[in-house]
Structure 1
Amino acid sequence: MKLFKLIDKAILKLEEFILSYAVIIIALMVVGKALSRALFNYSPPFADEVSQICIVVATFLGISFAARKGRHISMSAFYDLAPFKVRKILAIFIPVVTAIFLFILTYYSSLYVLDVYNSGRVTPALEMPAYYLYIFIPIGFLLGGIQFLRNAWINIKDREYVYLGTDAKDYNDEEKRDVNEEIHL
């Protein structure tokens, strides 16, 4: 179990590092391109391509990070009003279904990356193999699927709280616990 926790911590640090620098590079490329065009009437041809690569990396590697932190997009109007037991069931069912879809998308995006690899395509400005850009898509789907399974597992394992992510308890439970603590004080 310690090995899994060590791997999980390493993946979290790697995700944080990659996502942080991807966002910084996007900002530098967009601002740099605008300034370069305004000041020198020149736009570096690689800026759009580097930005595109970073957007793909941030988007697809961000799936796992958002799932871990419970920050993924959710339609929670009915969920928020539901009693604890219903929310607990949904907190198990929804991540399992989401993980299944992400694993299916992992499979199909892997086939696409393999097709791009076999085609020998390169990017126009940097002339790097195009599959370098797309390889992050199945990796992101796979890590996201694993993370959603972990979210389901923590909700199965811990019967006291509902977890939106492995690192995030349901805010509905937190609010109720805060109110109960105030009443007991």
Structure 2
Amino acid sequence: MSEDTPQEAVRQPRVLRSISAVEHTIGAILITVIALLVFAQALQRYLPVSGWVWSGELARYSMVGVTFIMCGYLMGQGQHITIQVIDRYVSGRAQRWIKRFANAVVLLICLAFIREGWALVTETSGQVSAALQMPMTYLYAFPLIGFVLAALRAVWALIVPGSEADSTEADLEGELA
């Protein structure tokens, strides 16, 4: 396949498209929460009210959440970290093998993180956050969920090469309607 002919994107199953929409929605909500809480913190400095200590903690935890939840989404969009520099110099079969190798490495790393994330989530240490008094297990669930979703996408990319196509917002909205 030459560079002139665009590779036809393989359509993801409805389940993966639905998961993408949920990930995208959760990511948007968490980014909005971060923006609102940081704005509230800045506003508190100029108003004669006592500060909300929990707002900074919740903003930081929301950042952790959006970082890990969006791992799977970005991988499904073909925007994860891969060796794209090499793609400029190789084509055809070599390029497909490099992409498969990259997806296999991502899958192995995700599996290792899933194992460690599971250990953190199932460990009952009783730790809670300082201001919110939130059990830390809730925070540890974000990486576990994110890496499970990324591993799911890596498996799909290995089974169906070329499935990491760029999808548009219209595709996501059209499938949920």
Does the Cα contact within 8 Å between 1:92 and 1:153 map onto a contact in 2? Answer: no
Distance 2:100 2:83 in 1: 16
Q: Percent identity?
A: 23
1:26-84 CA-to-partner distances (Å, cap 9, x unmatched) read 11111210111133364310111111221111111111000000111334222222122
- TM superposition shift of 1:138: 0.9
Structure 2 unaligned residues grouped into runs of 5+: 1-11, 168-177
TM-score (norm 2): 0.80
* Secondary structure, aligned partner of 2:46: helix
Please, what is the CA RMSD of the aligned residues? 1.9
Answer with 126-135 or 38-47: which moved more: 38-47
1:87-127 CA-to-partner distances (Å, cap 9, x unmatched) read 11111111012101101110111102222xx1111111111
2:90 corresponds to which residue?
Answer: 82
TM alignment of 1:31-110, pairs within 5 A: 31-40=39-48, 42-110=50-118
2:152 counterpart of 1:146: yes
**Which of the pair has the greater relative contact order for Cα pairs under 8 Å at 6+ separation?**
2
Which protein shows a greater Rg?
A: 1
Structure 1 unaligned residues grouped into runs of 5+: 156-162, 170-185
Match of 1:167 among 165, 168, 172: 165
2:15 counterpart of 1:7: yes
- The structure-2 alpha-carbon separation of the partners of 1:73 and 1:97, relative to structure 1 and needing over 3 Å to count, comes to closer
Amino acid at match of 1:33: Q
